[in-house]
């Protein structure tokens, strides 16, 4: 039997556990798995691009467990009443090859993305950071706000989106949750006085959401929206005067902000920071950039964390996904006349 977490079960688990508690626990597991970097079989995600968007598979394994996520990114979907990003994932046992968990991963990915962003900012942002600017208030924005409060204590937010309805939605969702939200009239105003800037826009285009003059010394930039080939948010000169941190260079150089720069542009891998082999922030005036594209080990960690929380609970149904003939070599017995008659009856 396979544990199965559908959308309704995921909603109940999140509502009853609390987003901030979940992202805090998930962040710890992500960091622990990144510290085991050498144990993982790693590769860039397998992407199938089209003019409308991208469909991807993101696999990772530590030799004991295997996980993959199916995920899409279609920026025009909201105009059709559909989500920009959706996903589902599988966690499996390497020794047998049998799946252990099948789960929705649209909500779970938002949780793990927020957990990763805040986890990295805890290492790279100034310890006295109090204000975060959010450029883009779409589906990920509330998760980011709650994760940064949980891990860094951020309560003051300055927001901007080209879609006023998206800002209305953000203020409506977080209005009663204890944040001080300033609604800016543009990106430049939003970043004024911000210690952390999060960019998270959806358009699949080379864009300049954040210009060089908006980034002052000491700021940490959580650059999330440059996450596929041909899609960026930061002016390249920001990267050239910052310390840039990435999950997996082989993937980020294809999909991240650094796709704008030469292939030998220096970056620091996060796993080295988590292991103490490389420095994070080195001075109060340093500009740090997390060129975030999302990496499969984060999904691996998210699925493991979810499984540890829901196994044996009401949130995980058990489904018969794998056939189980009496004789493992006699698969045909399951579709023979006798078996079909039994199934019909």
pLDDT in tens, 213-232: 999 999 999 998 766 677 78
> Quick one: pLDDT band at residue 142, thresholds 50, 70, 90?
very high
119 has a pLDDT exceeding 60: yes
CA distance 148 to 175: 16
Sign of the torsion angle spanned by Cα atoms 193, 196, 202, 207: positive
Task: For residues 195-200, give the mean pLDDT.
Answer: 96
How confident is residue 9, by pLDDT bands cut at 50, 70 and 90?
very high
10 and 31, same domain (yes or no): yes
291-295: average pLDDT: 94
**Is the Cβ–Cβ distance between 111 and 302 less than 8 Å?**
yes
The reply to whether 256 and 231 lie within a common domain is yes
- Angle at the Cα of 113 (from 177 to 241), degrees rounded to 5? 105
Within a domain: residue 28? yes
**Which pLDDT value is given to residue 62?**
98
* Inter-residue contact 251 to 41 (CB < 8 Å): no
For residue 38, give the CATH number of its domain. 3.30.1780.10
Q: How high is the pLDDT of residue 345?
A: 55
- 327: tokens are 């004789």
Most confident of 11-20, 46-55, 226-235: 11-20
Q: Average pLDDT in the 31-58 region?
A: 93
Q: Which two tokens stand for residue 96?
A: 């047998």
Confidence at residue 199, expressed as pLDDT on a 0 to 100 scale: 94
pLDDT at site 49: 87
Give the model's pLDDT for residue 172. 97
Task: Tell whether 59 and 171 lie within a shared domain.
Answer: no
pLDDT at 282: 96
pLDDT greater than 90 at residue 203: no
**Which helix (H) or strand (E) is 198 found in, with range?**
strand 196-199
Instruction: Let me know whether 317 and 257 are in one domain.
Output: no
Report, as an integer, the average pLDDT of 32-49.
94
Q: Is residue 305 part of a domain?
A: yes
- The confidence score (pLDDT) of residue 335 equals 81
Residues 201 and 218 in one domain: yes
Residues 142 and 225 in one domain: yes
* Choice among 252-266, 278-292, 329-343 with the minimum mean pLDDT: 329-343
Residues 232 and 87 in one domain: no
| Cβ–Cβ < 8 Å for 214, 188 | yes
- Rounded to two decimals, the pTM is 0.93
CATH number at residue 289: 3.40.50.720
In the chain, the number of structural domains is 2
Flag whether pLDDT at 16 surpasses 60. Answer: yes
Inform me whether the pLDDT recorded for 252 exceeds 80: yes
| 271, 159: one domain | yes
- Find out whether 102 and 90 touch, Cβ atoms under 8 Å: yes
- Point out which residues pair with 134 in neighbouring strands: 159, 198
Distance of CA 36 to the CA centre of its chain: 19
Mean pLDDT (the chain) is 93
Range of the domain at 309: 2-107+298-331
The residues that are catalytic are 227
Degrees to nearest 5, angle at CA 23 with 88 and 253: 65
Contacts of 40 (CB under 8 A, 6+ apart): 33, 60, 61, 62, 297, 300
């Amino acid at each position: 039997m396979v544990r199965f977490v559908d959308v309704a079960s995921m909603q109940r688990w999140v509502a009853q556990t609390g987003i901030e508690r979940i992202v805090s626990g998930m962040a710890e597991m992500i960091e622990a798995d990144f510290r085991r970097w050498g144990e993982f079989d790693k590769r860039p995600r397998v992407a199938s691009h089209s003019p409308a968007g991208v469909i991807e598979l993101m696999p990772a394994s530590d030799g004991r467990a295997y996980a993959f996520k199916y995920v899409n990114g279609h920026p025009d979907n909201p105009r059709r009443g559909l989500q920009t990003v959706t996903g589902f994932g599988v966690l499996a046992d390497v020794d047998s090859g049998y799946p252990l968990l099948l789960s929705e991963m649209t909500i779970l990915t938002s949780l793990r993305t927020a957990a990763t962003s805040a986890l990295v900012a805890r290492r790279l942002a100034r310890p006295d950071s109090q204000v975060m600017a959010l450029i883009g208030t779409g589906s990920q924005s509330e998760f980011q706000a709650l994760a940064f409060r949980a891990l860094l204590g951020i309560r003051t937010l300055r927001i901007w989106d080209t879609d006023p309805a998206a800002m209305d939605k953000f203020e409506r969702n977080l209005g009663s949750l204890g944040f001080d939200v300033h609604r800016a009239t543009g990106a430049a105003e939003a970043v004024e006085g911000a210690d952390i800037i999060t960019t998270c826009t959806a358009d699949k285009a080379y864009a300049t959401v954040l210009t060089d003059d908006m980034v002052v010394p000491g700021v940490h930039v959580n650059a999330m929206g440059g996450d596929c080939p041909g899609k960026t948010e930061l002016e390249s000169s920001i990267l050239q005067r910052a310390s840039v941190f990435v999950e997996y260079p082989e993937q980020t150089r294809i999909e991240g902000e650094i796709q704008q720069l030469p292939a030998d542009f220096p970056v620091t891998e996060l796993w080295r920071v988590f292991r103490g082999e490389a420095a994070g922030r080195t001075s109060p005036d340093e500009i740090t950039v997390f060129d975030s594209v999302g990496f499969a080990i984060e999904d691996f960690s998210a699925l493991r964390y979810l499984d540890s929380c829901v196994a044996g609970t009401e949130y995980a149904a058990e489904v018969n996904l794998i056939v189980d003939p009496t004789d493992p070599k006699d698969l045909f017995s399951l579709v023979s006349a006798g078996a079909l008659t039994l199934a019909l009856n």
